[in-house]
Amino acid sequence: MSPDGAMLVLLPMLCLLSGATWAATLGGLGDKIQILVPEKFQGVANFSTFLLDRSSGTLFLGARDAILAVDTNKLNQKPKVIVWDVPEEKRRSCVAKGKTEVDCNNYIRLLEFLGDGRIYVCGTYAFDPQCAFLELSSFTLEKAEDGGVKMETGKGKCPFEPSQHYTAVMAAGTLYTAATSNFLGTLFDISRATGAEQERIRTERSINWLSDPEFVSSAFIEQSAGSNPTGDDDKIYFFFTEVAKEYDLYTKVKVPRVARVCKSDVGGMKTLQRRWTTFLKAQLVCEDKPSGQRYNILTDVFTTEHTPGDPSSTHFYGLFTSQWEREELSAVCVFSLSDISKVLDGPFKELKKTCENWINPDPVPTPRPGQCLNNALKAEGFESSLKLPDKVLTFVRDHPLMENSVTAAPLLVRKGIRYTKLAVTQTGSEDDERRAAVLHLGTDRGELHQVAVVGQNATLLQELSLFTSQEPVNNILLHQGRALVGSPLSLARVQAEGCSLYPSCVVCARARGLGCVWSTEDEACRPTTAEPGPGDIVDNALRQCDMAEGRCTPSTRELRVSLGLRLLLPCVQLSPRSCSWEHPPHRHTRQHHSDLEVTVTEDSLGKYICTCQEAGPGSRDPTPCRRAAYHLTLEGPSAGGAVAAAGGRHVLAIYILFFVLGLAFGVFLLYFVTRRRSIARQGHHLPDNSLSSDKGRDLLGSSATPQSPSSASLLSEGFRLTEKRNGTATTNTTTTLLSNQGNGGHLGNSYSGTLIHSPSNGHGNALYANCNTSSSGLKLTSDNLAANLLDGRTGGREMGRPEAVERKSREGGEVDEGLGDGLKGLEEEMASFPLFKSPAPLAKCEESSI
């Protein structure tokens, strides 16, 4: 059987097998994943805000013109809905101001518990932010005296535009926000938005304080009474990305920041009236030192205590990308509260300078600017920020930025993926050597990835596709061992903890640092309290699995390929750090996640080696680990097999064309003879002399002779060889299948074709073909070839005209009366051939083009 034929047979079988595998995967995860599709939400969409009542398990969702309540314990129940939309008159006014009709709705951007059985709700309200109060007991919005919704202004509490970056946090019943404060979205404030009017303070309107920020997250860190002997104040932290003013470059450089304000700050007496006196900010640096790559765009932050109940153990997991990379890129760095506090207690950055050089920095006054009130300051007579001297407040106003940066190395780096949200579950205490974390990462394609972090080593556990590729994950909440994952249209509940998540020995071995071990008796992943052995615990666990190759010592796989082939070389990442490829210098490649797409040419033959960065035991710096190795050689005994096959098809096509032309010529010749005999049968007497060459020339040159419209060629109109056959369009596509399960997948010996399908999740172990591709068959597509074959045959056209036939009949000829029935039988036999079956019947030929 030819390679094409074998591929035609294998494609349907592989498609069926892949479908069965996918169905089995869904079946295995059915009890661990539940998804509410858009149809379940009664037409409500654009979910942007989550708020979870952990006591009851009720999840409140802020949407467009509505608020929903979903019982996460009973997802089958119909969600409760409150409609809070914008009056039509106000909507028209919003559109008249230049905004789109879509944006002139009420997008709920804030949901916060007030502690008195109510929820504070704020929405954009057609670019005029408004806030209301939701009664939990009745699940209704409070009504005003006129029967409408009781509302108060939301300016400074909620953004004007639905897509604007925004964050808010409730601290002891008081709302702190970071948002735009005007209709145009050009003014930015970090403010205390509720509480007593005289205590509502905000940032100074200065680019030294906030320079075109994009707010990301906020956190309230409350000092515990038992671990606060100095009487230090509670603090609120804000995370954002802004344009750096300390870098004097030709382009805008964005930097991630962390800012801190103190809960008891009420502003200054004269300087910084109704402004923060404790606003300080520092740069966050997420940098991979071995490669020198720095990730400077902050996209999300998750706050967690490594030791529950101890605020000093708080860590901030930041999700980053890079301003300078063209391809999608994501990195995760973790910053401790203690490291941030050390930087904020360090030296201030001096931003003032003259035309020649830097001026001498201002001396730091006492008490230290920007510090929160504590017992020592109160003992000196500074019971309130209103008592602070002007020199201290002036220094704070001019020096909000710290000299040092808070630095961290990335836990993971992934190329080709853009993570949008992050949540973290902890195992073990901060002092425990077995302390580990599981990162739950949502992507912009509706996927959820889980990564285990043990020490400094991150291990990719699984990737789940929850929503469509057009639904980015925009919310992740963790509750009772489950992750509540949201998109603008859907909601999913996914099991987030437990060794039973990992269905195979290899994946279970990767979770060894989480206290999981593979049970050969149960054929399942089980929790264990046994201490792992010395060395790399993941590597040791993988040795227990039936694997043909070591983790970092793969064998080189020989791939026989043909010129022009597009091939995807898999490289399975064990650790989600960056992977790189070694390849021939003049290759044609493009990297998809960790896999490599190769277009085979003479220059691209040779070795391809994939190396990923992984952290070894007891090491902070990543070490290289070879994950895959391939060697590309031309197939064959003949290197030009693909070209020869293509040439053979062209030769065959020419033979078929000549065969068809011969049949057509025979049909028209028989038609001509039959017509002559029928004329003779009707009694026409022809002259004895035959048609002379001169008469023929006169006939061809005569303008008085009627010219019937030229019928089209049989090849060009009678039937199209490039049309669909049996209802299926023909194609010359051959699909390449390359499978790699784990580290020991079997690869075939020959690959040919021109079409490649990337894995559905961007990092699968198998490359699936398109099951709808029709079978490859003979295809004559060259209309130019047919036209060239017909050129030069126009010299016989006069013989096909009725006038020429009649003149020939008059001048003499013999008639065979037995040919009429034979011709009819031949026409019927030829009509039965599939080659002559076309969508439209052949027109009656009055003039031959042959």
pLDDT for residue 168: 96
70 phi/psi in degrees, rounded to 5:
-120, 130
CA angle 69, 75, 78 (to 5 degrees): 55
pLDDT for residue 360: 61
Contact 170, 112 (CB under 8 A): yes
What's the full length of the chain, in residues? Answer: 850
Q: Which residues pair with 68 in a beta bridge?
A: 61, 81
List CB contacts of 415: < 8 A, sequence separation 6 or more: 327, 328, 329, 578, 579, 591, 593, 594
Separation between Cα atoms, residue 252 and residue 275, nearest integer Å: 27
Helix, strand, or coil (residue 480): coil
Separation between Cα atoms, residue 73 and residue 78, nearest integer Å: 12
Contact 709, 849 (CB under 8 A): no
Token pair 């309230």 is at which residue? 220
Separation between Cα atoms, residue 340 and residue 221, nearest integer Å: 13
Closest CA to 849 of 713, 673, 735, 756: 713
Contact 511, 452 (CB under 8 A): yes
Separation between Cα atoms, residue 441 and residue 331, nearest integer Å: 11
CA angle 101, 103, 108 (to 5 degrees): 135
The token pair that represents 527 in the structure block: 């929790």
Query: What is the enclosing helix (H) or strand (E) of 23?
Result: helix 3-29
pLDDT for residue 126: 95
Helix, strand, or coil (residue 617): coil
The token pair that represents 204 in the structure block: 């100074």
Q: Which residues pair with 443 in a beta bridge?
A: 419
- Rg, Å, the chain Cα set: 39
Instruction: Delineate the domains of the chain, giving CATH numbers in brackets.
Output: 201-402 (2.130.10.10)
Q: Which amino acid is at 650?
A: H
Q: 8-11 contacts: CB < 8 A, separation 24 or more?
A: 8/775, 8/776, 10/737, 11/735, 11/769, 11/771, 11/773
**What DSSP designation does 224 have?**
P
Please count the other Cβ atoms lying within 10 Å of the Cβ belonging to residue 270.
8
Sequence-ordered strand ranges (E) for 601-759: 606-615, 622-634
Contact 152, 167 (CB under 8 A): no
List CB contacts of 117: < 8 A, sequence separation 6 or more: 135, 136, 137
Separation between Cα atoms, residue 463 and residue 86, nearest integer Å: 40
Separation between Cα atoms, residue 497 and residue 505, nearest integer Å: 17
Contact 776, 731 (CB under 8 A): yes
Token pair 């000549």 is at which residue? 658
Separation between Cα atoms, residue 101 and residue 94, nearest integer Å: 8
Q: What phi-psi label fits residue 651: left (phi over 0), alpha (psi between -120 and 50 degrees) or beta?
A: alpha
List, edge to edge, every strand of the sheet that includes 595-599.
Answer: 566-569, 595-599, 588-592
Residues of the chain with pLDDT under 70: 1-31, 248, 351-361, 428-434, 532-536, 546-551, 572-578, 587, 592-593, 614-623, 636-653, 655, 678-850
Alpha helices in 246-331 (DSSP H): none
The token pair that represents 151 in the structure block: 């509302």
The token pair that represents 439 in the structure block: 């990162």
How would you label 631-659 residue by residue, b for 16+ Cβ within 10 Å and e otherwise?
Answer: ebebbeeeeebbeebeeeeeeebeeebee
Per 3-state DSSP, the chain is made up of helix, strand and coil in percentages (nearest 5) of: 20, 30, 45
pLDDT for residue 799: 42
Separation between Cα atoms, residue 427 and residue 413, nearest integer Å: 22
Contact 313, 307 (CB under 8 A): yes
3-state secondary structure 312-362: HHEEEEEEEECCCCCCCEEEEEEEEHHHHHHHHCCCECCCCECCCCECCCC
Contact 545, 520 (CB under 8 A): no
Token pair 């006591």 is at which residue? 55
Separation between Cα atoms, residue 238 and residue 235, nearest integer Å: 10
Token pair 């990337």 is at which residue? 758
Q: Which amino acid is at 794?
A: T
